[in-house]
Amino acid sequence: MSILQPVTRTGCGCEGHDTSKKLMTIDAAHDLIGHCVTIVDGTEDICLGKALGRVLADPVSSRSMSPPFDNAAMDGFAFSSAALRGEGPWVLDVAARIQAGQSSAMPLVDLQAAQIFTGAKVPEGADVVMMQEEVKRTGKTIRVATRPTPGLNIRRAGSEMEAERNSHGRCSACRGSDLGREHSHADRHSDAAPDRCCCCGTGH
């Protein structure tokens, strides 16, 4: 039968040694690392698919504005807020149906509306997009009970990025979301050459 004795000492056993004189201060360690590091000044022209995690050597400028046109931010009905004269409710004729990726060649006239889906180009003559849940549709007409504010639910052309404007500056890190936006106006860019480092564990 073995009798186990309780352990009364904590730590690894080195706490009794005076190591303060052998330790390097954090500032001294930073200085030492700074003297040992070689600055990377080379650049590489790479495609966006390989740019994740890299650092830009030159700014990236947009070729065109984003979005390229006024488009609907919601599914709903586009119409002119100025056409709602007097007191509501107002009844408008649904004259068109515009799906995402489409545009209407027919401008809207007084008291006309177009059913529109998210991302579709806002037709000429409309300055609001009212959510479909906020109107009542009966056949080919809609009933609008409240007066909307001009610009409601419309993403204006160039509101996210203006043409010829730097989307990301020099020394910016390339994140996944950034590369997604850059893909609309660039397919390659110049990045700093990758750093190389080695981490050594001492066991302490």
125-179, pLDDT tens digit by residue?
Answer: 999 999 999 999 999 999 999 999 999 999 998 887 776 555 555 556 666 656 5
CATH fold of 71-155 = Molybdopterin biosynthesis moeA protein; domain 3 (2.170.190)
What residues does each domain of the chain span? Answer: 71-155
The whole-number pLDDT of residue 116 equals: 95
The whole-number pLDDT of residue 127 equals: 95
The whole-number pLDDT of residue 198 equals: 62
Task: Look at the block and give the residue holding tokens 């950034």.
Answer: 178
Task: Look at the block and give the residue holding tokens 């000044």.
Answer: 41
Q: What mean pLDDT, rounded, does the chain reach?
A: 78
68-94, pLDDT tens digit by residue?
Answer: 889 999 999 999 999 999 998 999 999
Please report which confidence band the pLDDT of residue 66 belongs to, taking 50, 70 and 90 as the band edges.
Answer: confident
| C-alpha span between 94 and 142 (Å, rounded) | 7
Element (H, E) at 29: helix 26-36
Task: Give me the percent of the chain exceeding a pLDDT of 70.
Answer: 65
Collapse the DSSP code of 15 into the 3-class scheme (helix H, G, I; strand E, B; otherwise coil) and give the result: coil
Answer whether the bond into residue 67 is a cis peptide, omega within 30°.
Answer: yes
| C-alpha span between 162 and 73 (Å, rounded) | 19
Task: Give me the percent of the chain exceeding a pLDDT of 90.
Answer: 37
